[in-house]
Structure 1
Amino acid sequence: MRRILVIGSPGAGKTTLARRIAEALDLPLVHLDREYWRPGWVKPSDEAWDRQADELAARPAWVMDGEYFDLSDRLITRATTIIWLDLPNWLCLYRALGRLTRHYRQERSDLAEGCPEYFNWDYVTFIRDIWKYPSRNRPGILARLRALRPDQECIILRSSHAVRELADGLPSTLPEAA
């Protein structure tokens, strides 16, 4: 079965691409942010999240979007295809701020119920994390992707144009399931 993991910085377009892939390939869609957060932006315990993540990863087929580095090894190991949206940090920041503006105080379908978009000091940290994503997260992602098995496909998209091309060509732009 196909298990497609879409990773990248916040604001890279993971959710949008994952949704298009899931629709095109008729696969179950899993938004990790929706699974992780509890109402009121409450984090689950590490044990509860590990158990839940194992259950999600064990499913026979999925398109999953999100980037939780504590999970990345188990999700990457289970994935048949990893799509990394390696877009410029300025673009991701612009998109994340635009999303905040469009959805301010509203709940989004890719987030848990009771988790509306809002701005506070945590969001300032979120913005900083987006800006530092290339220097802080990119080396670890590259190392994980270099360690993929031969039966795993890796697609790295470095521009909005490349993401659009892949999405517009679905399903033929993705490799067949093994």
Structure 2
Amino acid sequence: MHYRGKNYKRIMLLGNSGSGKSWTAERLGKKTGYPVIYLDLECWQPGWTYPPEEVWYEKNREFVNKEEWIIDGNHHETMEMRFQAADLILFFDISRLQCVYSVWKRHGHKRVDLPDYLEEKRDKKFYQLLKWTWDFPKKRRPGLLSIFEKYQDKTILTFRTRKEAEAFIEEVQP
């Protein structure tokens, strides 16, 4: 993928739930032909449980060792290995109000980033997700920014609106 005179083969997308990461990853995948890996799709097991730690780490090692990829998702426990391998990081720093609204609106709809066997319900876990989404700027964003400091050699693009992400996609050349 070419963007502003540079070639990128390993792209990671980070940001709050409902910020537009999966939407962008899907469109980038179609435009570039790169495989898109949705971490939530790969991770979540029946009953919204995590795989065993070593299994999850090994899966992530396999993802990042490929020549080309677009990886959508935060999953802090494996983020460091993706940062080390990525040559472009897309950070969705979208308003938390918009993110909460998007999580609410998409709830119950078929999503490319989740396994079919998971059922979304408006239950306690859903409201915990809304709270996590609301709290993201104060609780998760600072950790991401500190990782960005550690990897200053990486190209990091920050989108503060979805229109900025759309403009990026338009500018990308396969």
Deviation at 1:75, TM superposition (A): 0.7
CA distance in 2, matches of 1:110, 1:160: 18
- Root-mean-square deviation (CA, aligned residues, Å) is 1.6
Pairwise mapping of residues 5-154 of structure 1 onto structure 2 (< 5 A)?
Answer: 5-100=12-107, 103=109, 107-150=110-153, 152-154=154-156
Deviation at 1:51, TM superposition (A): 1.5
2:5 corresponds in structure 1 to none
Q: Tell me if 1:159 matches 2:166.
A: no
Contact kept? 1:25, 1:171, Cα under 8 Å: yes
CA distance in 2, matches of 1:82, 1:23: 18
What runs of 5+ residues in structure 1 fail to find an aligned partner?
A: 173-178
1:175 corresponds in structure 2 to none
* One-letter amino acid matched to 1:86: D
Deviation at 1:41, TM superposition (A): 2.2
Deviation at 1:40, TM superposition (A): 3.5
* One-letter amino acid matched to 2:41: R
Contact kept? 1:39, 1:113, Cα under 8 Å: no
Contact kept? 1:108, 1:116, Cα under 8 Å: no
CA distance in 1, matches of 2:171, 2:119: 33
Deviation at 1:117, TM superposition (A): 2.4
| 3-state secondary structure, aligned to 2:121 | coil
| 3-state secondary structure, aligned to 2:50 | coil
What runs of 5+ residues in structure 2 fail to find an aligned partner?
A: 1-7
CA distance in 2, matches of 1:138, 1:40: 27
CA distance in 2, matches of 1:40, 1:112: 11
2:4 corresponds in structure 1 to none
Q: Tell me if 1:3 matches 2:10.
A: yes
* One-letter amino acid matched to 2:128: T
CA distance in 1, matches of 2:149, 2:173: 25
* One-letter amino acid matched to 1:40: G
TM-score (norm 2): 0.89
1:171 corresponds in structure 2 to 173
Q: Deviations over 1:131-176 (max 9, x none)?
A: 00000011111111122152x211011112211211222328xxxx
* One-letter amino acid matched to 1:115: L
